[in-house]
Structure 1
Amino acid sequence: MDRLTSMAIFVKAAESGSFAAAALAFGISSQMAGRHVIALEERVGAPLLARTTRRQSLTEIGQIFYERCKALLADAEAAESVAMDFSASPRGRLRVTAPVTFGSCCLAPLITRYLRANPEVQVDLTLTDRFVDLVDEGYEVAIRLGPLSDSSMIAKPLMPYRLLACASPAYLKEHGEPRTPEALARHECLGFSFTSLPPYNEWVFGSARGKHAVTVTGRFQANDTKALIAAAIDGFGIALAPEIAIKDDIAAGRLVRLLRKYEAPERPMHALFTARRPTPKLRAFIDLVVAEFGP
């Protein structure tokens, strides 16, 4: 028998003075109500109700047990109420992780819109380019670049993360514009460097003739895309930067997109989460991310 149900029937029997009244309240027979109480008495090893042919009353142990049962049932009801409140509308703290450039350029503005629409939610955003284990590190959702390998996660596809070669008008006036990927080898190229890996110095483009992989060199490397974009705008070299991060600079003429006849390198991007039944706060966040950045 379910212990909480037995406790609830015991409390009702104690308050009403009869198994019949408790049975009526729970929609069961008087005999079944009695069996629930007997099961509790066998569990605690002592009588809880003193029964006579005319009435029943709590024993000394029964009185103590009754008070504790009432408190426990009240706590259980409060816990259910809190859980139901949380499942009814977005609320609570949401922990999110994302790549640095995408997170700062695109996700942060979306999060502020999300928070304005959901005033009872708090968001903790961690920006990092390293692999993050959602379960071990306690995150509810991650934006991840590259192919997926963990099939246990739920993945929502987003638009591809496309990289464009770009340079400032001043750089192109002084050094000329490369017309093919192979020509990049003769230019000052700004390299992205990871914390624990060599700089990313092979740039790959596509065309009808296949893949074009060129090894680039340059005197400036950084582990932050914004620093490389700033250097490109300053005219120091050619950058391979995310389209989402430079589209405004291209529109304003601060940067010029290069190699338009070639397919720019891109990486798949997904929103990942583990919850099979996401909470309202997570579901609302995922819906907004997919609506904004969906394929």
Structure 2
Amino acid sequence: MDLIIAMRTFAEVAHAGSMNAAALKLKVSGALVGQRIAGLEDHLQAKLLNRTTRQQKLTEFGESYLEQCRDILELVDFSEGKASDQQRLAQGRLRIAAPVSFGTSALMPALKSFREIAPEVEIELTLSDNNEDLIAGGFDAAFRIGELEDSALIQIKLAPYRMMICASGVYLEEHGEPKMPSDLNNFSAVLLSRTGRKPWRFKQGSEEQSWTPQARISVNSGQAVRVAAKAGMGVAMLPETLIKRDISTGNLVQLLPDWSLPEQPMALIYHRDRYRPQRLTKFLDFAKSVFRNQLA
């Protein structure tokens, strides 16, 4: 048995949905397709497909093996120089990590467009404000916010992550609207707990001011801080990408728009491999086109 041919046949059966459909695509008989699958199962000493007279379904092992097949076959094509851009189909599972607020408000809505570009790619997205380890976590790529340590990983610089100060109209009716950062001394804040009570630093031209927020509420979720701010519980400093819709609809009011806040660098990181699956190449190109000049 030619193992590569058997693997190609199995991948085509999984993609086509049946052995007969795969046989038509491969231009061989259905019987030969069945023989190749049976030979592959015998070689692996494991069942790849559960078959009935009406349908077939990948076994749990078959699903896992299919991912390995696709990677191996793509690598074979790559090494033999046979995989042109048209020939190489972006497919398989792509594991991505991203910070919670960015992933929820900016990345998730954008993935609809990526699905149109690469419909055969399955996205597995992990949202966490901890910097997930790419190798230990088995991730293909990860979005990072903040200064990056020197790393063997490749970094693609994206648009800076911008922050805004905001509050609800109801809260401002009761407390007034600050004209200068020093006016915030009369305000209470809702804080993201992981940032603590670090000073908020403002800049206008050459002038700089800072304010250490006074807060009775802190929470470990940017979305929860956003909800609290909308409910009139205080002023909040939140990512622009998280609240830009609330600002445009009037649910939140941007404060001190003439004063800038420090921007945080943002990057997409991935492994420094000579061979890169087509699905990852497609995603990297997509991320650069969407997030290099804007965040949403």
Q: Give TM-score scaled by structure 2 length.
A: 0.68
Residue by residue over 1:77-134, the C-alpha shift from the partner in whole angstroms, topping out at 9 and shown as x without a partner, is x996454468622111111000000001111122233223322211111101112211
Residue 273 of structure 1 pairs with residue 270 of structure 2: yes
Asked if the contact 1:164/1:265 (under 8 Å) is kept, the reply is no
Instruction: Give 1:204's aligned residue.
Output: 201
Residue by residue over 1:32-58, the C-alpha shift from the partner in whole angstroms, topping out at 9 and shown as x without a partner, is xxxxxxxxxxxxxxxxxxxxxxxxxxx
Instruction: Give 2:149's aligned residue.
Output: 149
Relative to structure 1, the CA distance from residue 134 to residue 252 in structure 2 (aligned partners, 3 Å threshold; closer, same or farther) is: same
| Distance in 2 separating the partners of 1:183 and 1:156 | 39
Instruction: Give 1:260's aligned residue.
Output: 257
Q: Which segments of 5 or more consecutive residues in structure 1 lack a partner in the other structure?
A: 1-70, 72-77
Residue 224 of structure 1 pairs with residue 213 of structure 2: no
| Distance in 1 separating the partners of 2:205 and 2:73 | 61
| Distance in 2 separating the partners of 1:161 and 1:223 | 19
Q: Which segments of 5 or more consecutive residues in structure 2 lack a partner in the other structure?
A: 1-42, 44-69
CA deviation after TM superposition for structure 1 residue 150, in Å: 2.5
Residue 110 of structure 1 pairs with residue 114 of structure 2: no
Asked if the contact 2:197/2:214 (under 8 Å) is kept, the reply is no
Asked if the contact 2:152/2:272 (under 8 Å) is kept, the reply is no
Instruction: Give 2:89's aligned residue.
Output: 89
Instruction: Give 2:140's aligned residue.
Output: 140
Relative to structure 1, the CA distance from residue 131 to residue 153 in structure 2 (aligned partners, 3 Å threshold; closer, same or farther) is: same
Relative to structure 1, the CA distance from residue 187 to residue 278 in structure 2 (aligned partners, 3 Å threshold; closer, same or farther) is: same
Asked if the contact 2:71/2:277 (under 8 Å) is kept, the reply is no
Instruction: Give 1:285's aligned residue.
Output: 283
Instruction: Give 2:4's aligned residue.
Output: none
Relative to structure 1, the CA distance from residue 285 to residue 80 in structure 2 (aligned partners, 3 Å threshold; closer, same or farther) is: closer
SS for the counterpart of 1:283 is helix
Asked if the contact 1:106/1:244 (under 8 Å) is kept, the reply is yes
User: What is the letter of the counterpart of residue 94 of structure 1?
Assistant: L
User: What is the letter of the counterpart of residue 152 of structure 1?
Assistant: A
CA deviation after TM superposition for structure 1 residue 147, in Å: 1.0
User: What is the letter of the counterpart of residue 251 of structure 1?
Assistant: S
CA deviation after TM superposition for structure 1 residue 266, in Å: 1.6
Asked if the contact 1:201/1:217 (under 8 Å) is kept, the reply is no
Instruction: Give 2:235's aligned residue.
Output: 238
The range that moved more, 206-215 or 257-266, is 206-215
Relative to structure 1, the CA distance from residue 80 to residue 97 in structure 2 (aligned partners, 3 Å threshold; closer, same or farther) is: closer
Q: CA RMSD in A?
A: 2.3
Q: Give TM-score scaled by structure 1 length.
A: 0.68
SS for the counterpart of 1:254 is coil
User: What is the letter of the counterpart of residue 294 of structure 1?
Assistant: R
Relative to structure 1, the CA distance from residue 181 to residue 281 in structure 2 (aligned partners, 3 Å threshold; closer, same or farther) is: same
| % identity of equivalent residues | 36
Instruction: Give 2:37's aligned residue.
Output: none
User: What is the letter of the counterpart of residue 167 of structure 2?
Assistant: A
| Distance in 2 separating the partners of 1:181 and 1:241 | 16
Asked if the contact 1:231/1:237 (under 8 Å) is kept, the reply is yes
User: What is the letter of the counterpart of residue 129 of structure 1?
Assistant: D
Relative to structure 1, the CA distance from residue 183 to residue 129 in structure 2 (aligned partners, 3 Å threshold; closer, same or farther) is: same
4+ runs of 1 displaced by more than 6 Å? none
Relative to structure 1, the CA distance from residue 80 to residue 189 in structure 2 (aligned partners, 3 Å threshold; closer, same or farther) is: closer
Instruction: Give 1:166's aligned residue.
Output: 166
Residue by residue over 1:182-221, the C-alpha shift from the partner in whole angstroms, topping out at 9 and shown as x without a partner, is 2223211111012xxx724421111223432211111111
